Amino acid sequence: MSFVEYGDTIKDGDTAIVFLGHESMFPVKVQHGTVTQTKYGVIRHSTDLIGKKYGSKVTCSKGGWVFILHPTPELWTMNLPHRTQILYSTDISIITMMLELKPGSIVCESGTGSGSLSHALIRTVAPTGHLYTVEFHQQRAEKAREEFREHGVEHLVTVTNQDVCKNGFGVSNIADAVFLDIPSPWEAIGHAKSALKAEGGRICSFSPCIEQVQRTCLAMEEYGFTEINTLEILLRVYNVRTISLQIPDLGKAAEDNSSTGFDSSSPSHQDSLCANLQQGTVQFKSGVPLREVVGHTGYLTFATKS
């Protein structure tokens, strides 16, 4: 099993996603002799998982059932153990596009954190690219190495435990792109420039506060970066549903009645108008936004090495 290459069947040692519903899923490491408890009952790895195909519908001990899904970076982002705040797929997608990443790209990242963005970057640059990721915190760096090994992508990533603001990324003039998610990204802009290839490399900095963005932009200008721009992604989700509206009365019947000399004040005429106003409804599909909208996550500042 690998987060990069799809496998048909579930094997011992795989990381699989137990899917109970769109709002309820979790990862599990498949192991012989192990059981997993769910609200629908027990899943026995040896008999219920190993050897079955990914996507299979598995019946639990209480009669309920779940689906077992092959892991992807998107599913991992939704289910990973949080060691830090993470980036979600909305921001990850624009980062991948704006950094112009493709198979074979060389990317430098700091910090690694919980590895949400790292898995997406690895999938994008595979099979011939490489990710150099730097994490200041030793325990988080070690956990990231362990996860990359378990997920079958350790050959595509190098994890370094050091302070990127002081020691850089450990590489020079090879990176196609650099991503920074650290408290003071302006202190690492010089190291990012050194890591990028001679010309045309892209850089992205993620910061939650506009004051961080201002200092980062000044540092980018100082080091000669061009095409500096900042944006944020605000996601507004719509529910598509069927609604009913009354067919409007455009007054045609009233005009016809007046032309024939009917007394508009008579009870029979008023009853006729009420009947026309209630002549029926029409159903159609409509998009209705959610009442609660996901707000600000962070500012994304992009630039190009001149």
pLDDT the model gives residue 76: 96
The CA-based angle 67-71-73, given to 5 degrees, is 135
Q: Output the known binding site for S-adenosyl-L-methionine.
A: 114-117, 135, 163, 181
Residue 250 has pLDDT above 80, yes or no: no
In tens, the pLDDT along 3-25 reads 998 999 999 999 999 999 888 99
| Residues in the chain, overall count | 306
Q: Which residue has the higher pLDDT, 270 or 302?
A: 302
Task: Please state, in angstroms and rounded to a whole number, the distance separating the CA atoms of residues 159 and 18.
Answer: 28
In tens, the pLDDT along 93-150 reads 999 999 999 999 999 999 999 999 999 999 999 999 999 999 999 999 999 999 999 9
pLDDT the model gives residue 252: 62
For strands 238-246 and 281-289, give the pairing: antiparallel
Q: Which residue has the higher pLDDT, 113 or 256?
A: 113
- What is the DSSP track for 184-210? -GGGGHHHHHHHB-SSS-EEEEEESSH
pLDDT the model gives residue 236: 85
- Count CB atoms within 10 A of the CB of residue 288: 10
pLDDT the model gives residue 257: 52
pLDDT the model gives residue 271: 55
Residue 273 has pLDDT above 80, yes or no: no
Residue 275 has pLDDT above 70, yes or no: no
Task: Please state, in angstroms and rounded to a whole number, the distance separating the CA atoms of residues 218 and 138.
Answer: 31
Q: Output the known binding site.
A: 114-117, 135, 163, 181
The structure tokens listed for 164 are 């990127």
pLDDT the model gives residue 262: 46
Task: Please state, in angstroms and rounded to a whole number, the distance separating the CA atoms of residues 75 and 116.
Answer: 10
Task: Please state, in angstroms and rounded to a whole number, the distance separating the CA atoms of residues 228 and 219.
Answer: 11
The structure tokens listed for 250 are 């455009």
Task: Please state, in angstroms and rounded to a whole number, the distance separating the CA atoms of residues 221 and 36.
Answer: 53
Residues forming beta bridges with residue 305, ordered by sequence position: 225
Residue 272 has pLDDT above 60, yes or no: no
Task: Please state, in angstroms and rounded to a whole number, the distance separating the CA atoms of residues 102 and 64.
Answer: 42
End-to-end CA distance of the chain: 41
pLDDT the model gives residue 276: 47
3-state secondary structure of 95: helix
pLDDT the model gives residue 187: 98
13: alpha, beta or left? (left if phi > 0; alpha if psi -120 to 50): left
Task: List domains and CATH numbers for the chain.
Answer: 9-71 (3.10.330.20), 75-232+295-305 (3.40.50.150)
pTM exceeds 0.95 for this model: no
Task: Please state, in angstroms and rounded to a whole number, the distance separating the CA atoms of residues 306 and 300.
Answer: 19
Q: What is the C-alpha radius of gyration for the chain, rounded to an integer number of angstroms?
A: 29
Q: Which residue, among 175, 118, 126, has the nearest Cα to 148 in the 3D structure?
A: 118
The structure tokens listed for 124 are 């994008």
263 band by pLDDT with thresholds 50, 70 and 90: low
152: alpha, beta or left? (left if phi > 0; alpha if psi -120 to 50): left
In tens, the pLDDT along 184-196 reads 999 999 999 999 9
268 band by pLDDT with thresholds 50, 70 and 90: low
- Averaged over 207-221, what is the pLDDT? 98
Asked if residue 175 lies in contact with residue 106, where contact means CB atoms within 8 angstroms, the answer is yes
